[in-house]
Amino acid sequence: MQASLLLEDGSYFHGQSIGFPMETSGEIVFNTAMTGYEEVLSDPSYLGQIVLFTNSYIGNTGITLDDLESKHMYAEALICKNIPAYADNYRSKKSLHEFLYNQKKSAIFDLDTRLLVQKIRDSGCLYGIISTTDNDIISLKEKLKHTQKKNLANTVSIYSKTENNHCITTKDQEKKYKVAVFDFGIKQGILECLSNLGCDISLIQYPFSIEALDAIQPDGIFFSNGSGDPNILASETSILENMQKILIKYPCFGICLGHQLIGLSFGAKINKLNNGHHAINHPVKSFLTVPHKVMITSQNHNFVVDIENIKNEFEITHLHLNDNTLAGMKHKFLPIYSVQFHPEANPGPRDAEEIFLYFIELMNTFKKEKNNA
């Protein structure tokens, strides 16, 4: 199929398309990972976004269902330079085209992805519209004007709940810790990491109640990754009010959106990056060890926490070495810590997987103090 791509700055591209004939819009973000397109497309954090891959070929290995981070493709669409006619992987269950068609999503390719990346790198993330049915630039401009920039976390959580999105596969071991997981769009890999460390997981969908949480009597709370602007989520819901009650009662750990919401709960500002961090090769310096060490991490976010006005309460645990933005923090007095990167990777390196062990330590300490009280 022929397809068209229009950006909000007026740039217009023609290309080819595979997947489902459709029209979709979203914020275009580029991902520089050389592998892992299956995990990226099925990551709920990409809801509302069109993923532009910088790698020359996408779809070489087809789709392996066991590698997906959820049962659905959450990215609105994908953009890439080339898509091979055939997938070559003995584990593959279907081609990228079949996957896209079944998910009612599409991909546009055979266009100048280098120019697109340069535009986003220089101008920041841009909204765009992709159509396989309308090639009229004036018509597409009018449609793009009505693209809504909205809070998406509630949508992800409802989708997750109604579609039974998660299938936790775990090691056969005793569950030692009750963990309430607040699901804003959680990845399968995070659930597996927690479960494999002995966590008995209770998924709590947003919006949530304090009463439901207290009934579980958890040893710890996990705030998940997710999509959308945390500032909008905070302004349109009572989530911060509820989190402020939770954060003083339990050991808490947050990743990505969860990290940002913890920062907002204590009064930190959330700033938007020019073009975000979306890849599996981001260097992060950890201050949790002596000597300090550098980890290569997987990241997927457009926003960062500005810790400056909460330094009396929080200390920096991790720093992004490319731009010196905050990559992790912990509370000085309460059992709370959070990171901006993804220690479970999927895709990506496993350098930071030990971060989950700090959460286990917090819960162990909390349980001992609770038993001694």
Catalytic, out of 166, 301, 318, 342? 342
CA–CA gap between residue 311 and residue 323 (Å, rounded): 19
Catalytic, out of 38, 256, 282, 301? 256
Q: Which residues contact 63 (CB under 8 A, 6 or more apart)?
A: 38, 87, 92, 93, 94, 95, 96, 98, 99
Structure tokens that stand for 258 in this block? 């969860």
Q: Which residues contact 184 (CB under 8 A, 6 or more apart)?
A: 153, 156, 157, 206, 223, 224, 225, 226, 227, 257, 258
Query: Which alpha helices (H) appear in the chain, and where do they start and end?
Result: 37-41, 96-102, 113-123, 137-145, 153-162, 188-196, 210-216, 230-236, 239-247, 257-265, 355-372
Answer whether 47's CB lies under 8 Å from 74's CB.
yes
Q: Is 169 helix (H, G, I), strand (E, B) or coil?
A: coil
Q: Is 135 helix (H, G, I), strand (E, B) or coil?
A: coil
Is 256 one of the catalytic residues?
yes
Catalytic, out of 39, 69, 76, 344? 344
Q: Which residues contact 322 (CB under 8 A, 6 or more apart)?
A: 277, 282, 283
CA–CA gap between residue 117 and residue 32 (Å, rounded): 10
Short-list 339, 68, 47, CA closest to 184: 47
Q: Which residues contact 214 (CB under 8 A, 6 or more apart)?
A: none
Q: What 8-state DSSP symbol labels residue 146?
A: T
Side-chain half-sphere CA neighbours of 74 within 13 A? 29
Pairing of strands 326-331, 336-339: antiparallel
> Could you list the active site residues?
256, 342, 344
